[in-house]
Amino acid sequence: MRFVSITPNERPEIKSGRANNQVDYAAIEQEALSRIEGAGDPEALEGLRVEFLGKQGSISGLLKTLGKMTPEERQQTGPKIHGLREMVTGALASRKTALEAAALELRLASETIDLSLPAPDVPTGSVHPVSQVMDELAEIFADLGFAVASGPEIEDDWHNFTALNMPESHPARAMHDTFYFPDDAPNGGRMLLRTHTSPVQVRTMLAQGAPLRIIAPGRVYRSDSDATHTPMFHQVEGLVIDRDIHLGHLKWTLETFLKAFFEREDIVLRLRPSYFPFTEPSVEVDVGFAVEKGRRVLGGSGDDPGHAWMEMLGSGMVNRRVLEMSGLDPDEWQGFAFGVGVDRLAMLKYGMDDLRPFFDGDLRWLRHYGFSSFDQPTLSGGVGARA
């Protein structure tokens, strides 16, 4: 007799509940257990579970017969059927565990991991050229003893203009294409988006006094837009305040900085008289360059054959009036300051010809010109754009 065939419907003697004493529970159990033990895979095992314990299952059928028995019969047979169910349930569970363990063993034995295979590329972001250049600047100037200072981008009129020797109605204000805020600030001064990083000079002198050696990289804003101007761009301000500082210090500092930044020893500077309200005297600094393969490459004197001068940055000795307004005695302290466009430095160093894509957020541009965070900054070891 196959245990599988015992179902209440097919076996009238079970259905009637009369012939239960004739049912050989021990034999049923033995057969069930041996079939469970013989199940070769989880599907076969599940088939047996349904066959024995499912709604229409054979053991479920036996349980139903209890209801039709006399109390004495039930007392005698009940424990046998319940015991049978428990045995089968337990056997199913332990066979399941055994099958799973065997499957795992098999997988572990057959699968191997090839550690020599290259790992799949994990997509990572890249460092924006502007951030890269700012890091490079901070590194170069740190070697020269400069700290990094910062100030607010939403600035007041006094720090952005007045304290820099540009009082109301100063004509130089008109050149700054300023974004003003509509409301007057409580102190009467108008708020604006800073048009340059020079207000950080004033703030740092007021906060820290002298002597000072700082650079202040950051965003600045002017109402201007074409291939070489964007309404937001980046500048780095440099400021040195000490005793007996003169133009020679300025020239050496700029030359050292530009040589380190462009990683060329043949950088030649030309200082040209200029005008800024906040420096006196003021000098415009030009750098010699040549055009190679359609790209401006710095190096050599602008007076050399095939070379020309390119305007690079504004600078000068800090105006006495700025020192005074910043709380320093100009008879005791002097200093120089310079300001240069960070985006422009990036364009020149990495060969980009349009400023606007810097701020478009186009992923293709960013992937092309971005820097891996793992190989920067590299002043000592040479910077490699992914381009």
> Which residues of the shown chain bind ligand PHE in the complex (CB under 6 A)?
196, 198, 237, 276, 279, 314-316, 337-339
Q: Which of 156, 153, 201, 230 is nearest to 314 (CA)?
A: 201
- For the chain, report the end-to-end CA distance as a whole number of angstroms: 80
Q: Which of 253, 287, 256, 258 is nearest to 271 (CA)?
A: 287
- In the bound state, the residue with its beta carbon closest to ligand PHE is 339
Q: What's the min distance (Å) between Cβ of 266 and ligand PHE?
A: 25
Nearer to ligand PHE, 300 or 316 (CB): 316
Q: What's the min distance (Å) between Cβ of 365 and ligand PHE?
A: 26
Q: What's the min distance (Å) between Cβ of 132 and ligand PHE?
A: 22
Q: Which two tokens stand for residue 103?
A: 């499957």
Q: Which of 85, 24, 100, 9 is nearest to 49 (CA)?
A: 85
Would you list the DSSP string of 122-152? PP---B-HHHHHHHHHHHHHHHTTPEE----
Q: What's the min distance (Å) between Cβ of 248 and ligand PHE?
A: 17
Q: What's the min distance (Å) between Cβ of 131 and ligand PHE?
A: 21
Q: Please say whether the beta carbons of 326 and 205 come within 8 A.
A: yes
Q: What's the min distance (Å) between Cβ of 282 and ligand PHE?
A: 6
Nearer to ligand PHE, 105 or 324 (CB): 324
Nearer to ligand PHE, 58 or 201 (CB): 201
**Strand spans (E) along 149-277:** 154-156, 180-184, 190-193, 212-221, 232-242, 269-276
Nearer to ligand PHE, 264 or 320 (CB): 320
Nearer to ligand PHE, 126 or 279 (CB): 279
- The phi, psi pair for 277, rounded to 5°, reads -60, -30
**Cα–Cα distance between 47 and 43 in angstroms, integer?**
6
Nearer to ligand PHE, 237 or 286 (CB): 237
Nearer to ligand PHE, 141 or 371 (CB): 141
Q: What's the min distance (Å) between Cβ of 128 and ligand PHE?
A: 22
Q: Which two tokens stand for residue 346?
A: 């990036």
Q: Which of 256, 253, 323 is nearest to 283 (CA)?
A: 253
